[in-house]
């Protein structure tokens, strides 16, 4: 997990494998997150990865801006776009607010050309927050 908010939603995809991660999670009976305490935040402060087919990159960028996002194509140090294992690009997108994440995820996924979004809502069955060298907290989110 890149960040986990106070409602136990996550931003994942910093490594660029968000589509494959969602496929694996969706096909699993249980999904458990183990993360350092510094990954747990009250509100998200980082960009959300959005995986996009290269053909749709300009249109998707325009649409992400239209919904208030600030997309930035993920680049390699050499100046080339980062390409996922699936041959797609990533727009790291700062959102104007991180409320109604299910709705936000749906709105972004409805943009033609978007393959997946790095918002993971209501997917983990439990979390282990590493609080020290030999210490952790176990959390099972309440689902409404």
Positions annotated as catalytic residues are 21
Q: Is 41 helix (H, G, I), strand (E, B) or coil?
A: coil
Structure tokens at 40: 């747990």
- Could you tell me if 86 and 9 are in contact, meaning their C-beta atoms sit under 8 angstroms apart? no
Separation of first and last alpha carbons in the chain? 22
Instruction: Take residue 138 and report the two structure tokens written for it.
Output: 């176990």
Q: How many CB atoms lie within 10 A of CB 112?
A: 9
Residue 64 in tokens: 């992400």
| Cα–Cα distance, 10 to 86 (Å, whole number) | 22
């Amino acid at each position: 997990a890149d960040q986990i908010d106070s409602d136990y939603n996550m931003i994942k995809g910093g490594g660029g494998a968000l589509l494959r991660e969602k496929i694996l999670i969706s096909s699993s009976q249980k999904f458990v997150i183990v993360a350092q305490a510094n990954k747990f935040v009250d509100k998200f402060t980082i960009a959300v990865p959005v995986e996009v087919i290269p053909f749709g990159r300009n249109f998707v960028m325009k649409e992400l801006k239209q919904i208030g996002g600030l997309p930035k194509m993920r680049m390699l140090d050499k100046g080339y776009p980062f390409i996922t294992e699936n041959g797609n690009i990533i727009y790291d997108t700062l959102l104007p607010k991180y409320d109604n994440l299910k709705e936000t995820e749906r709105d972004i996924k409805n943009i033609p050309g978007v393959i997946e979004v790095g918002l993971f809502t209501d997917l983990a069955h439990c979390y282990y927050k590493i609080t020290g060298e030999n210490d952790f907290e176990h959390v099972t989110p309440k689902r409404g």
